Chains A and B, each alone.
Chain A
Amino acid sequence: MKAIFKREMLSYFTTMTGYVFIGVFMFLSSLFFSMEMFKNRVGSVTGIMPMCMVILMLLLPIITMRLFAEEKAEKTDQLLLTAPVKVSEIILGKYFAAFSVFLISTAATLPYVFVAAIWGDIAIGETFASYAGYVLFGALLTAIGLFISCLTENQVVAAVLTYGVTLLLFFSSWLNTGIWAVDYIIRFFSISEWNESFSMGVIAPSGVVYYLSFTFLFLLLSMRQIESRRWR
């Protein structure tokens, strides 16, 4: 797993992918932060979290789309699958590499917290909780992206499908069918709905369980997908 993690990280930072992702994310998030700070006169970072999530949904496929699609297109998966490593090690190595790039981009927003702490008035608990929610959200998005990348050998298809799925899951809480049961189910699967308590400063166990279990589910599906391909 370590070898794969190292190679993926090297790949993110020897090609432009990692830098572009982190750079564009920092630019956009800082833009929204300064607007919040100077125009709306709000000295906290929790307000920009929903915006960060939207930016993340638009940018994260850039780092997840290549994870397996590229291996298949370049036939380098032959090396991985004929080496004495388990499929789970391959998947986890790749997942943690992409997740680490996401964490670096998240860490790059920490200066905003210091700025807000100096000139604004931030609630530590609320900030911490919203960051926890944001990281869990990112963990799930990365897993969804990785799974979709396992389905195809075309990176563009992987990215577009990831947009489709994540945007649907994000905005599904806006859907209103009028039928209580259907709305309840849709809301249950909404990745934004579960983040609301975090942004209010509450680390709800149910939210943590939701994000972690769905992340785990998508990692498991990715492993199954890679294993099942050999049987076709």
Chain B
Amino acid sequence: MIEIKNLCKSYGDKKAVNSISFNVQKGEILGLLGPNGAGKSTTMNMITGYISISAGCVLVNGVDVLENPMEAKKMIGYLPEQPPLYKEMTVWEYLSFVYDLKKVKLNMSKKEHIEDVLKTVSITDVKNRKIKNLSKGYKQRVGFAQALIGKPEILILDEPTVGLDPNQIMEIRDVIRSLKNEHTIIFSTHILSEVCAVCDRVVIINEGVIACEKAKEEIQIEELEKIFYTLNVKGGSLNEGDI
């Protein structure tokens, strides 16, 4: 479904992403795990066509995102790290705008589709409220709803649970799991347990390179923790006196 080959992104001399390759199968939930600044968001921004690719390529259903961005973008729903919300609009106005923006063509009416999406992320009760007046959890869900508009085959979710309370985190995870049958999902996080709870496969990124790639069955928390914590302290050492 998604093939990523030797993907690179450089900012001047600094390589934010350095030759990353992985594939995502249809109907799979892939977790991108890594500490902050590891290159997760950069990778996602490249897949969605928000930023350019320095080297390598991304194929979405066989379509190259650089050669045919319009076709590729039609297949992708993207929830960036900070949900792209127009705060002066109501939830309904906003989703209606996103529907028109994505030039959605479905065999149901616009109203039915938006109602459907609102139900999926449980925000029907706030549909007529202005986005600026919503709580963070609701804003995040409106952002999620935006990604679901047009029923894209692929969902790319950048840290969808950040800043939510434990209940909301559970809800969002349930939503992600429920979407698995209809969508292929790439989802990034820096929380280890989340990957185990939601994903089929995990790719761990650190400092722009892949540190480890495993299927869910192979995931062993202790082993991951070892890698993860090693990653976090790498690049500096502490003396006794510093503590």
Contact = CB atoms under 8 A, between A and B. Distances in A.
11 contacts: A6-B97, A7-B101, A11-B86, A15-B88, A76-B84, A76-B85, A78-B45, A78-B78, A79-B98, A83-B98, A83-B102
B137 interface: no
B84 A84 contact: no
B74 A10 contact: no
B88 A83 contact: no
B103 interface: yes
B92 to A, nearest CB: 12
Interface residues of B, number: 30
Contacts of A206: none
Given A14-B88, A83-B73, A3 B52 contact: no
Contacts of B71: 84
Nearest to A4: B101
Nearest to B99: A3
A2 to B, nearest CB: 7
A15 B89 CA distance: 10
Interface of B: 11, 45, 48-52, 69-71, 73-74, 76, 78, 80, 82, 84-89, 93, 97-98, 100-103, 146
Contacts of A76: 84-86
B73 A82 contact: yes
A80 interface: yes
Contact of B50 (A2, A15, A78, A85): A78
B63 to A, nearest CB: 12
A77 B78 CA distance: 12
Contacts of B74: 84
A75 B83 CA distance: 8
A6 B51 contact: no
A78 B97 contact: no
A74 B84 contact: yes
